[in-house]
């Protein structure tokens, strides 16, 4: 059984933690990773989140994925199985032997996954009502499932799927 989900009130330190992560990734992956963006709930000011810094790192050339993956392993990240909604990427968690404090999706810049992750993040940042609905859905599912990770992840996936449908219909 996996560890239960922990949720915390927004912590302004998350932004600083992301900036340190971005700097480390760009320095370690020079020549392969061209951009690192903060995603996930820790990137949205004021909402409850798991205390895990989520990021997406973009490579220009898909052949750079393996090089970047090896470089991130040197920063104490480990590769894990992708969630069912992600493709054409590598997912890495840090640290290697404990509950994650950081996650990074390695993908090609402007890939469908890159655009989806940033589109959802931007909508949550720009529309406070949507962000609060997302927070409410997360907290409700977390309470109802007593922190069960699988139930929590399913509820998040449903919310994101609905939000992505809205974003597609607007474009």
Contacts of 67 by beta carbon, 8 Å cutoff, 6+ apart: 29, 31, 32
pLDDT at 99: 86
The H or E element containing residue 46 is none
Q: Taking the model in full, what pTM does it have?
A: 0.90
Helix (H, G, I), strand (E, B) or coil at 26: helix
Q: Which is more confident, 16 or 151?
A: 16
Q: Give the phi and the psi of residue 31 in degrees, each rounded to 5.
A: 95, -20
- State both tokens at 60: 């220009």
Report the alpha-carbon distance of residue 30 to residue 74 in Å, rounded.
14
pLDDT at 92: 96
Average pLDDT over residues 77-86: 86
What is the tens place of the pLDDT at every residue in 114-169? 999 999 999 999 999 999 988 998 888 888 877 777 777 777 777 777 777 776 77
> What domains does the chain contain, in order, with CATH numbers?
13-170 (3.30.460.10)
Report the alpha-carbon distance of residue 50 to residue 142 in Å, rounded.
11
CA dihedral 153, 39, 55, 41 (to 10 degrees): -50
Helix (H, G, I), strand (E, B) or coil at 128: helix
Lookup result for tokens 């890939």: 111
């Amino acid at each position: 059984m996996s560890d239960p989900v922990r949720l915390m009130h927004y912590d302004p330190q998350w932004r600083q933690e992301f900036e340190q992560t971005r700097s480390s990734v760009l320095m370690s992956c020079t020549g392969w990773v061209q951009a690192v963006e903060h995603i996930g709930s820790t990137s949205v000011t004021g909402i409850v989140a798991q205390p895990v810094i989520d990021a997406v790192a973009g490579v220009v050339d898909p052949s750079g994925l393996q090089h970047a993956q090896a470089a991130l392993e040197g920063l104490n990240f480990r590769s894990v199985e992708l969630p069912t909604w992600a493709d054409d990427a590598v997912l890495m968690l840090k640290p290697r032997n404990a509950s994650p404090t950081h996650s990074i999706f390695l993908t090609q810049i402007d890939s469908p996954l890159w655009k989806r992750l940033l589109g959802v993040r931007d909508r949550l940042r720009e529309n406070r009502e949507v962000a609060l609905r997302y927070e409410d859905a997360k907290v409700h599912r977390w309470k109802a499932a007593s922190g069960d990770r699988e139930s929590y992840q399913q509820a998040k996936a449903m919310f994101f799927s609905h939000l992505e449908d809205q974003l597609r219909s607007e474009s």
